[in-house]
């Protein structure tokens, strides 16, 4: 069922960003990390090489599409498919290298978002302000007890995985090692300017790009675009976020069918991440790919008509 883009499903009256968000000050680790990456981005015009740009594109796909979209989101958060444990860890490592936080932290915040989407306890709703939903929501200090409780409530399954707990501890080290490796490879295989270009474009340019396109899913895709399904939130399908974020911008489709692996439900809703999942399934690297939910805000017949898929056995949806 397609709905008019102007239709709202929840009240647009803003939920004022409570002053209590800032009562404990800033989360300086997040402020310094994000500020440092944006400062490093300023070096990009002075370090440009075509090899550096190609590296940026390749690593953006590996850490963005394979890491965040496929690994963090569709595999770890929603269990949209299953794969072998070494591949599961590899995708989690790629997602960690996207600079958006370690896997258990990322998944716990995202599962909470789905539970309270555009409601009072949503971590990043535009109803609290557009910049809040885009990036400011990460800056208030919550304290270790907050995150410990969030982990226990939303990711008890992931806490059992030692490899994911390791990535949570090694987040910064992973980036330091990758940055050093890119610099050394560029320098030793080509020359010093290439090494510097690899470092700047493979780290700063890529990480800032990945941060903002992912944040745009939280902000822009809850503000602009069209709605194909009735949902209890203001999720939207936004074409430019869909393209830049490897298929994640078909956000209303996703909120209607949270566990479904395919986010693009029409032929023109390009979903690069689902292409990889489909290829993995064909080669035996993925199985139990979720195509139909058991309970959603839209019927299975609607998604069958939208995607052209034949009716399939339904699977249980993740409620959190």
φ/ψ of 205, rounded to 5, equals -65, -45
The DSSP bridge partners found for residue 227 are 3
pLDDT, tens digit (0-9, with 9 covering 90-100), for 190-223: 999 999 999 999 999 999 999 999 999 999 999 9
Please report, to the nearest 10 degrees, the dihedral formed by the alpha carbons of residues 56, 212, 179, 93 taken in order: -100
164 with 104: CB under 8 angstroms? yes
Q: How far apart are CA 212 and CA 288, in angstroms?
A: 31
pLDDT at 293: 60
Residue 18 confidence class, pLDDT cut points 50, 70, 90:
low
Contact 182, 199 (CB under 8 A): yes
Q: What is the pTM of this model?
A: 0.86
Nearest-angstrom CA–CA distance, 2 and 230: 8
Confidence (pLDDT) at 306: 40
What are the tens digits of pLDDT across the range 152-190? 999 999 999 999 999 999 999 999 999 999 999 999 999
Q: Residue 268 carries which DSSP code?
A: T
Residue 310 has pLDDT above 80, yes or no: no
Which class for 240: exposed (0-12), middle (13-18), buried (19 or more C-beta within 10 A)? Answer: middle
Whether 315 shows a pLDDT value over 90: the answer reads no
CB count in 10 Å sphere of residue 115: 15
d(CA 147, CA 151): 6
pLDDT, mean over the chain: 87
Q: pLDDT at position 155, please?
A: 95
Give 286's Cβ-side CA count (13 Å radius).
21
Residue 292 is predicted with a pLDDT of 74
- CA 235 vs CA 87, 133, 160: distances in Å: 31, 13, 32
Least confident of 98-102, 128-132, 209-213: 128-132
Distance of alpha carbon 114 from alpha carbon 111, whole angstroms: 5
pLDDT score at 20: 64
C-alpha dist (Å) from residue 172 to 99, 102, 218, 241, 264:
9, 9, 24, 27, 33
Chain segment 268-298, per-residue pLDDT in tens:
999 999 999 999 999 999 999 999 765 444 4
Whether the CB-CB separation of 314 and 300 falls below 8 Å is answered with yes
User: How many residues in total does the chain contain?
Assistant: 320
Angle, vertex CA 172, rays to CA 171 and CA 176, nearest 5: 125
* pLDDT-wise least confident of 68-82, 185-199, 233-247, 301-315: 301-315
Q: What is the pLDDT at residue 127?
A: 86
Distance from C-alpha of 197 to C-alpha of 43, rounded to nearest angstrom? 9
C-alpha 130/C-alpha 277 separation (Å) is: 32
Phi and psi, residue 164, nearest 5°? -70, -35
Q: Cβ(89)–Cβ(116) under 8 Å? A: no
Q: What pLDDT is recorded for position 297?
A: 43
């Amino acid at each position: 069922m397609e709905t008019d883009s102007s239709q709202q499903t929840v009240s647009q009256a803003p939920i004022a960003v409570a002053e209590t968000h800032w009562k404990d000050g800033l989360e300086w680790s997040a402020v310094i990390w994000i500020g440092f990456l944006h400062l490093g981005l300023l070096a990009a015009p002075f370090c440009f090489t075509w090899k550096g740009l190609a590296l940026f594109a390749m690593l953006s796909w590996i850490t963005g599409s394979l890491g965040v979209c496929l690994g963090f989101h569709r595999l770890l958060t929603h269990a949209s498919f299953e794969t072998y444990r070494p591949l599961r860890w590899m995708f989690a490592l790629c997602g960690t290298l996207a600079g958006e936080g370690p896997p258990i932290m990322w998944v716990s915040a995202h599962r909470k978002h789905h539970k309270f989407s555009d409601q009072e306890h949503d971590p990043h709703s535009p109803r609290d302000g557009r910049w809040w939903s885009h990036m400011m929501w990460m800056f208030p200090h919550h304290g270790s007890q907050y995150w410990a409780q969030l982990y226990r409530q939303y990711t008890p399954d992931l806490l059992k995985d030692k490899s994911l707990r390791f990535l949570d501890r090694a987040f910064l080290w992973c980036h330091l090692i990758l940055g050093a490796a890119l610099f050394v490879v560029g320098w030793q295989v080509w020359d010093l300017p290439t090494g510097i270009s690899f470092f700047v474009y493979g780290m700063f340019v890529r990480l800032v790009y990945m941060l903002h396109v992912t944040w745009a899913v939280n902000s822009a895709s809850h503000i602009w675009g069209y709605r194909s399904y009735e949902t209890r939130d203001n999720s939207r399908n936004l074409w430019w976020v869909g393209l830049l974020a490897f298929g994640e911008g078909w956000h209303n489709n996703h909120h209607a069918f949270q566990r479904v692996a395919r986010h693009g439900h029409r032929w023109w809703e390009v979903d690069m991440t689902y292409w990889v999942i489909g290829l993995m399934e064909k080669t035996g690297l993925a199985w139990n790919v979720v195509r139909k939910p058991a309970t959603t805000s839209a019927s299975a017949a609607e998604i069958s008509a939208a995607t052209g898929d034949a009716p399939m056995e339904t699977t249980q949806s993740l409620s959190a």
